[in-house]
Amino acid sequence: MIVISTTVPKVQKWLEDAFLQYAPQGSYCLADSEQAIYATTAVSWFPDLDHLEKLPELKLIHSMAAGVEHLNLDRIGTQYKVCRVVDQLHQKGMFDYLQWGVLYYQRFFDQAFVQKRQQRWRQYPQREHAELKIGIMGLGQMGGYMAKQFAALGYQVSGWSRSPKNIAHVSCYAGDEDFDTFLGQAEILINLLPLTENNQGILSKSLFDLLPEQACIINCGRGQHLVEQDLINYLDSGRLRGAILDVFSKEPLVENHPLWQHEKVVITPHVASHAPWSVVVNQILENDQRVIQGQALLNQVDTLKGY
């Protein structure tokens, strides 16, 4: 039995509709129903942990998305298993978004939009893939996939993660000792890190100082990774060329935020990629059966590491 647990009303409606459409009747329930005491898995987005901790059969707290920062892992600790949703269509959607972002800067489309407003005609050179250096922060299931895809297209790809990785045709860096070297060659820096206590505000002045002159930022991690005023300062100074931002510390982005009006910033409303609802529901159903049977879980999270 799966219980839907969220404190966000619109997400509650999304999950109810998705499970009604894709889950077998009787396989799920709402948090306030009598059947909740039989729940072995909670599908969650900012769940009510006080309520979940009262459910005697609960074994698994399952994020409805790829991220888990909304679950309060410090409180969950090791009392429950935690999983997230990872899917090939989700990965493909993210790559489509990031490839568009890379081409936006590679082909100088950012400059073309400025020139249109100025009614100015200037042609820019066409840069080959092999000339461009892409740096990817985070080499997990999502970031590792992106690194492989960009490398297959012929880009110079480097990646950084907390623990060592080995990806064909990708220069992999790990740990604090490699961080500066990694940043120094990233003309386009893509952030796909999970949000943890250690990396909040990682996209800040100290990081921007280490990037090549006129580097570009694409943030598809979490809004809390970015110190927004530091980014604005570096864009205004000309040190950074531009930024594509899909995530923000507060969403929706408030109407009077200076990022809306900044000509060097592209804003998308947290739409880089989403797994289809059918996939979300089926992965959670599968993991519920696995946790009941004591089998290995799909996309399990290390609650101590946060990813």
**Catalytic residue numbers, as ranges:** 222, 270
Q: Which two tokens stand for residue 228?
A: 């927004």
* CA-to-CA separations, 56 to 103, 118, 152, in angstroms, rounded: 52, 65, 49
Strands, E assignment, the chain: 2-6, 28-30, 41-45, 60-63, 81-83, 133-137, 156-161, 171-174, 188-191, 215-219, 240-245, 265-267
CA-CA distance, 30 to 166, in Å (whole number)? 43
Dihedral pair phi/psi, residue 181, rounded to 5°: -65, -45
Tokens 């039989």 locate to: 38
Give, in order, the Cα–Cα distances in Å from 172 to each of 129, 151, 201: 19, 12, 22
Distance, CA of 64 to CA of 71 (rounded, Å): 11
Tell me the one-letter amino acid at 220. Answer: C
